[in-house]
Every structure is written in structure tokens, then in C-alpha cells.
Amino acid sequence: MTWLAFILILVALVAFVAGQLFLKHAMESSTATGLRDRKVIFFLCWGVLSMTIHFFVTLGLLAHLDLSYVYPFQGLSVIIISLAAAIVLREKLTAQLTIGALLISAGIVLVSLS
């Protein structure tokens, strides 16, 4: 793997995790304030921007590498998102959820190594 590919994979991963957190936070707030609230729209925009960056960087990677090779790098995003949801969004993370998320992450990373 070239350095360019490595950096682009990292950019895609960070954009993806940040995007999910923004979107969850926006939708969570919307249950109380409705979708037209300024704060909800603000976080939705950041979420969509992050996901757009993720989309185009992923397209660029897919042009050169196999889908079953590129995509599973997002496996790491499972455990990162679960931890970030617990820390940033204060979700209750049980031992069972953590073990499940770790297994899913490990499984996807294992797939990506082959």
C-alpha cells in the first residue's frame, strides 16, 4: 500500500466517525426541538459535509483497489464509534455491547488483511 492510499484511508475513517457523531447528535436533539431548530441544522450540515468527504475519498480509493479490500478498513470505525458514542454522546456502553463491537471490528480487520 502506498502512503497516499494510507493517508486517504485515514481521512475517510476520521470523516466517517465524525460524521456519524454529528448526525446522531443532530437527530437526538431533533426529538426535543424538531428538525428546523438551528442547532439541529448546524450539526446535520457538519454531518453531511463529513460524509461527503468520506464518499469522494472512498470513490478515489475504489478506483484503484478491490472493494473487499478497501471497505473493511472501516471495521475500526465500529469500536471507535461505540467508544466515542459513550464518551462524547454519553451513551450507556455495556460490557456485552463492547465485546460485540470489538468482535465485529476484529472480524472486519481480519477480512481486510487477507
Partner 1 sequence: MTKTHNHPSGVANPWLQLWLSVVCVLIYELLQKRGATETANLSENWSWTGITALASPLVWLAMVLMIISLLSWLYVLRYIPLSIAFPLSRLVDVLIPLSCWLILGEHISPRRWLGISLVVIGLAIVAKPVARLEEKL
Minimum distance from CB of 10 to partner 1 (Å)? 14
- Does position 50 interact with partner 1 (CB under 8 A)? The reply is no
Cα 13 to Cα 54: distance, rounded to the nearest angstrom: 7
Minimum distance from CB of 48 to partner 1 (Å)? 8
Nearest Cα residue to 59 out of 9, 10, 108, 2: 9
* Max Cα-Cα span within the chain: 47
- Does position 45 interact with partner 1 (CB under 8 A)? The reply is no
Residues 6 or more apart whose Cβ sits within 8 Å of residue 24: 85, 89
- Does position 1 interact with partner 1 (CB under 8 A)? The reply is no
Cα 77 to Cα 14: distance, rounded to the nearest angstrom: 8
What residue ranges bind partner 1 (CB under 8 A)? 4, 8, 20-21, 23-24, 27-28, 30-31, 48, 51, 55-64, 66-68, 71-72, 74-75, 77-78, 81-82, 85-86, 89, 91-94, 96-97, 99-114
